[in-house]
Structure 1
Amino acid sequence: MADTFSFLVEAMKNVGVSKAYGQPRQVGGEEVIPVALVSFGFGGGNDAEGGSSGGGGGGMVLPLGVYRDAGGHAVFRPNTIVMLACLVPVISVIGSAVRRSIRAARS
């Protein structure tokens, strides 16, 4: 169990802002800094009666866009496809709320 904990501690040292903001790159003659949404999780457990244990984890990275230099200040340029995909749940919830409001107003 101590080996597992020390492994997780070492893995967490690599997670942080450096994973959300990439190294500056030269693209088309201008410098851009990639930006991503980084999410991860892990868990574990054991069966007290059977003496077995287990665990697992996973992660996800969504490329949100880039920061680029525009006249001496940084400007964020979003990744349109990912932004639209992230808006689908929000639009769905808003649509459901509007529909329920209309139904309630009719009653």
Structure 2
Amino acid sequence: MAEAFSSLVETFRNVGVARAYGAPVQIGGEELIPVALVSFGFGGGGDSGPEGANGAAEGGGGGGFVLPLGAYLTDGQGRLVFRANTLTLLAGLVPVVCAVGMAVRGVIKTVNASRR
């Protein structure tokens, strides 16, 4: 199990800030620096069973995702600005809108219940 864990740690060693900010890219004479949300996780475990048991169980796994947030680029005045990825922004707002809607619904139910 220790070997598997060491292998996972080595595999994910290079994931982090270096992956969140991509290498600069030249497009149409402008330099863009892509920005992403990078997340990963892994775990493992084992069970040797009762004393004298013939079998032992071990397992592990991991996963991750990369969400493109946008890019840094220079504007016409030479300033560095961030341009968000519109689709990612809209997809990220869905849980926020749902949470706000549920909170408002709860407040309305509470107000209606207190009036009775």
Instruction: State whether TM-score is above 0.5.
Output: yes
TM-score (ref. length: structure 2): 0.85
Q: Does 1:9 align with 2:9?
A: yes
The CA distance in 2 between the partners of 1:62 and 1:12, in whole Å, is 17
Q: Which residue of 1 aligns with 2:100?
A: 94
The one-letter amino acid of 1:69's match is T
Q: Which residue of 2 aligns with 1:47?
A: 47
The CA distance in 2 between the partners of 1:13 and 1:56, in whole Å, is 16
| Deviates most, 9-18 or 20-29 | 9-18
| Deviates most, 6-15 or 28-37 | 6-15
The one-letter amino acid of 2:69's match is L
Bigger radius of gyration: 2
Taking every aligned residue pair, what percent have the same amino acid on both sides?
A: 60
Number of matched pairs: 107
Deviation at 1:10, TM superposition (A): 1.8
The CA distance in 2 between the partners of 1:80 and 1:47, in whole Å, is 47
Deviations 1:37-87 (A, max 9, x none): 000000111123141101000010000000001122210000000111011
Q: Which residue of 1 aligns with 2:66?
A: 61
Deviation at 1:9, TM superposition (A): 3.0
Q: What residue ranges of structure 1 are gaps of 5+ in the alignment?
A: none
Q: Which residue of 2 aligns with 1:75?
A: 81
Deviation at 1:11, TM superposition (A): 1.9
The CA distance in 2 between the partners of 1:15 and 1:63, in whole Å, is 15
Q: Which residue of 2 aligns with 1:32?
A: 32
The one-letter amino acid of 2:106's match is R
CA RMSD, Structure 1 to Structure 2 (Å):
1.3
| Deviates most, 28-37 or 8-17 | 8-17
